[in-house]
Amino acid sequence: MKKVLLSLCALVTMASADQLVKLNVNGMMCPACVKNVKGTLNDVGGVKETTVYLKEGKAEVTTADGTKAEVLCDAVKKAGYGCSVAK
């Protein structure tokens, strides 16, 4: 229990340095694509959390400060999907 509380505090403290990057992802057809895109994004350095929306064709990525949105997009493209940074 103590450990859980400590890590929660750490999350809150670190949250100020995080940024949320929104991506438009094209070509996702099924849950396997979602898994693929999610795994791809999570493998990029600095990525902390990824949420992928299949129907909307979007992804939201929480990254450490300084991670470039373009780098995330390039990774998604390499995985075989279309990607642009949502403005």
How many chain residues interact with Cu ion (CB under 5 A)? 4
CA angle 62, 74, 52 (to 5 degrees): 40
Any contact of residue 4 with Cu ion (CB under 5 A)?
no
Q: Encoding tokens for residue 51?
A: 């949420």
Q: Binding Cu ion by CB under 5 A: which of 18, 19, 24, 33?
A: 33
Q: With respect to Cu ion, which residue has the nearer C-beta, 71 or 79? A: 79
Q: For residues 64 and 2, give the distance between their C-alpha atoms in angstroms, rounded to a whole number.
A: 26
The number of C-alpha atoms within 13 Å of 47 and in the hemisphere containing its C-beta is 24
Minimum CB–partner distance for residue 37 and Cu ion (Å): 9
Any contact of residue 55 with Cu ion (CB under 5 A)?
no
- Contact footprint for Cu ion (CB under 5 A): 29-30, 32-33
